């Protein structure tokens, strides 16, 4: 697993001697999701990696930095969708579909990182900053939903806030069950979600 779009380095593979920040981060995120951030110690991560505690500090100054890097990987992926010209040009409906497909792609590619982001409770300053970035992202999607409704492509008998929450609920719940590498590819999953959300499950 690599982060921030970096290509895999030879030392990034798990289970091999010699770790880099990326591989330490992957192990940390798995532990945060499993035991909770508070309950995870640098000692536990060192043991998991089979290295000394001081060796971990060689890669990252603190547990908080691991959390910050992990959340930034999830948020950076989501934010970059909105930087794409396809998120800003053309009909709101097509822009909304582009952004939702992008969100599903980031979610499936960076599954443990987005899982961590979605489970945040905001107990620390790092978490609160990440939640604020997530809210900013959510508000931009809500604005797209509003625009699609105003252009007449989205139904107006559901409150726009409910519409946005149902869309997010459907997409975010994917982290609870989707496992990459199985028979359902990320692309087919995105097709399925877009189909249900926009056209519904009823056969016509």
Judged by the rule CB under 8 A, the positions of this chain that interact with a copy of itself are 93, 152-159, 162-163, 165-170, 172-174, 176-177, 184, 189, 192-193, 195-203
Task: Compute the least distance from the CB of residue 103 to a copy of itself, in Å.
Answer: 14
Which C-beta is closer to a copy of itself: that of 12 or that of 106?
Answer: 106
The burial of 190, by beta-carbon neighbours within 10 Å (0-12 exposed, 13-18 middle, 19 or more buried), is given as buried
For the record, the structure tokens of 109 come out as 């590619």
Which C-beta is closer to a copy of itself: that of 4 or that of 166?
Answer: 166
Task: Compute the least distance from the CB of residue 15 to a copy of itself, in Å.
Answer: 26
Query: Is 66 in contact with 116 (CB distance < 8 Å)?
Result: no
For the record, the structure tokens of 22 come out as 């990326």
Non-local CB neighbours of 110 within 8 Å, separated by 6+ positions? 73, 74, 77
For the record, the structure tokens of 63 come out as 């547990």
Which C-beta is closer to a copy of itself: that of 55 or that of 166?
Answer: 166
Which C-beta is closer to a copy of itself: that of 86 or that of 165?
Answer: 165
d(CA 195, CA 186) in angstroms, rounded, equals: 14
For the record, the structure tokens of 54 come out as 């001081």
Task: Compute the least distance from the CB of residue 42 to a copy of itself, in Å.
Answer: 21
Task: Compute the least distance from the CB of residue 201 to a copy of itself, in Å.
Answer: 5
Query: Is 20 in contact with 9 (CB distance < 8 Å)?
Result: yes
CB-based contacts of 21-24 (< 8 A; 24+ apart in sequence): 21/59, 21/60, 21/69, 23/49, 24/49, 24/56, 24/59, 24/60, 24/66
Task: Compute the least distance from the CB of residue 178 to a copy of itself, in Å.
Answer: 8
Which C-beta is closer to a copy of itself: that of 44 or that of 189?
Answer: 189
């Amino acid at each position: 697993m690599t982060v921030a779009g970096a290509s895999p380095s030879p030392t990034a593979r798990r289970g091999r001697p010699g770790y880099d920040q990326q591989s330490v981060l992957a192990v940390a995120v798995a532990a945060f999701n499993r035991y909770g951030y508070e309950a995870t110690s640098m000692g536990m991560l060192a043991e998991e990696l089979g290295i000394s505690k001081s060796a971990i500090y060689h890669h990252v100054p603190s547990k908080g930095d691991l959390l910050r890097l992990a959340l930034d990987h999830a948020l950076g992926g989501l934010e970059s969708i909105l930087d794409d010209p396809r998120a800003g040009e053309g009909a709101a409906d097509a822009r909304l579909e582009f952004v939702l497909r992008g969100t599903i792609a980031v979610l499936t590619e960076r599954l443990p990182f987005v899982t961590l982001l979605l489970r945040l409770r905001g107990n620390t300053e790092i978490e609160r900053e990440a939640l604020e970035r997530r809210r900013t992202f959510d508000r931009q999607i809500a604005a797209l939903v509003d625009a699609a409704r105003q252009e007449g492509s989205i139904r107006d008998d559901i409150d726009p806030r409910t519409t946005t929450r149902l869309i997010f609920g459907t997409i975010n719940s994917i982290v609870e069950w989707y496992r990459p590498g199985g028979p359902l590819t990320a692309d087919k999953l995105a097709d399925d979600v877009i189909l249900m959300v926009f056209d519904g499950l009823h056969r016509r």
